[in-house]
């Protein structure tokens, strides 16, 4: 299985990830475990296996979740970080993928360029070795999986309950996180509004691709674009934001503050949203820029539940891969 983005998964698989049969029975979603590593529930496919994690970018949540989830399904995580691999410098992306697929049962890759991931994926496919995108400049599917799990948990949606129809307002740079989140939302029938200033919004090709995917999923959800943050949150159930300067991007804090003025989630913007709307941020957060510290720490925030669910999402994805492949 190649999980390069959310659209690599079917709608049924996304729904399975929201509430797999094992959820709450000793897996990381069980509130009693708080994701602690000593309560493993091995997956037959991965018992005694190793999983390779390749990280060109710094990582806290993703690397921690990858390690914890690998352990929980019975595998040993092995990490390759920064320039010690030297993709396309020391050796080609294809040669790296050949070696990792020979040695390991699953590859996770956090890479600068999505094209690099796809080159590695073509090689991994030859070995029938699953490969998971842990973040590229194009997509962040494991984050989006954690996000939809968090939304369902906050709304207390049970395994047999129909999914609610809701609206997500994403504010800020229309980036990799926004793209994967939009796909997940549209697939599940959730409306999403992307609020971004001029020059930072999805382009025509992105919108066409998202609309095509929505149609393919048989969804009647709506994708809307706006440059008005207050209008975006007016009927939103979820307010979501990310950093204004994406990882590896160029730009000064002062320039970002000017470009995104009015798009930060603060107490004032919350007044324009429904009283029961809640706030999400994929972290790391720059408090006082895209979000106020008081908002992150308020009872309207699910940021720490969302961070915890990075482990839940990764574990469930590994179990899905173990069942599907």
- Digit-coded pLDDT (tens) for 156-202: 998 889 999 999 999 999 999 999 999 999 999 999 999 999 999 99
Residue 243, H or E segment: none
Alpha-carbon distance of 74 to 72, in angstroms, equals 5
CA distances from 156 to 19, 85, 164, 187, 295 (A): 11, 43, 10, 19, 22
Q: What is residue 258's predicted lDDT score, i.e. its pLDDT? A: 93
Alpha-carbon distance of 253 to 257, in angstroms, equals 6
Q: What is the mean pLDDT of the chain?
A: 93
283 shares a domain with 177: yes
Q: Is the predicted pLDDT of residue 38 greater than 50, yes or no?
A: no
- Digit-coded pLDDT (tens) for 262-299: 999 999 999 999 999 999 999 999 999 999 999 999 99
Q: What is the total count of domains within the chain?
A: 2
268 shares a domain with 222: yes
Q: Which residue segment(s) compose the domain that 242 sits in?
A: 143-306
Q: What is residue 252's predicted lDDT score, i.e. its pLDDT? A: 74
239 shares a domain with 126: no
Identify each DSSP E strand in the chain by its residue range.
2-3, 50-55, 76-81, 106-110, 131-135, 167-171, 191-195, 223-226, 238-241, 278-281
155 shares a domain with 88: no
Task: Answer whether 0.85 is exceeded by the pTM.
Answer: yes
User: At 254, which CATH number?
Assistant: 3.40.50.1370
CA neighbor of 4 nearest in space, from 151, 119, 83, 128: 119
Alpha-carbon distance of 193 to 169, in angstroms, equals 5
117 shares a domain with 33: yes
33-61 exposure pattern, b = at least 16 Cβ within 10 A, e = fewer: bebeeeebbebebbeebebbbbbbbebeb
- Digit-coded pLDDT (tens) for 196-249: 999 999 999 999 999 999 999 999 999 999 999 999 999 999 999 999 986 555
The CB density around residue 211, as the number of other CB atoms within 10 Å, is 13
Alpha-carbon distance of 27 to 35, in angstroms, equals 8
């Amino acid at each position: 299985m190649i999980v390069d983005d959310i659209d690599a998964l079917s709608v049924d698989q996304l729904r399975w990830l929201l509430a797999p049969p094992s959820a709450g029975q000793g897996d990381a979603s069980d509130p009693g475990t708080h994701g602690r590593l000593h309560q493993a529930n091995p997956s037959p496919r991965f018992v005694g296996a190793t999983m390779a994690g390749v990280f060109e970018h710094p990582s806290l949540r993703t690397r921690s979740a990858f390690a914890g989830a690998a352990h929980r399904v019975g595998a040993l995580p092995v990490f390759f970080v920064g320039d010690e691999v030297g993709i396309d410098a020391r050796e080609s992306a294809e040669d790296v993928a050949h070696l990792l697929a020979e040695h390991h049962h699953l590859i996770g890759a956090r890479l600068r360029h999505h094209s690099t991931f796809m080159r590695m994926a073509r090689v991994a496919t030859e070995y029938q070795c699953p490969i998971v995108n842990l973040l590229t400049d194009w997509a962040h599917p494991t984050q989006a999986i954690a996000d939809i799990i968090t939304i369902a948990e906050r709304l207390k949606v049970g395994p047999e309950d129909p999914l609610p129809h809701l609206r997500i307002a994403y504010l800020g740079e229309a980036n990799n996180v926004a793209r994967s989140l939009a796909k997940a939302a549209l697939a599940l029938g959730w409306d999403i509004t992307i609020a971004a200033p001029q020059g930072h919004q999805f382009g025509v090709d992105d919108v066409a691709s998202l609309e095509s995917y929505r149609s393919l999923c048989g969804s009647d959800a709506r994708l809307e674009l706006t440059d008005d943050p207050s209008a975006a949150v007016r009927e939103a159930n979820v307010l979501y934001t990310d950093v204004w300067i994406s990882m590896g991007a160029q730009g000064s804090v002062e320039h970002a503050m000017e470009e995104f003025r009015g798009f930060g989630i603060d107490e004032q913007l919350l007044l324009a949203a429904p009283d029961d709307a809640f706030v999400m941020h994929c972290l790391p957060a720059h408090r006082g820029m895209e979000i106020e510290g008081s908002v992150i720490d308020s009872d309207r925030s699910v940021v720490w539940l969302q961070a915890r669910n990075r482990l839940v999402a990764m574990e469930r994805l590994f179990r899905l891969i173990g069942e599907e492949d």
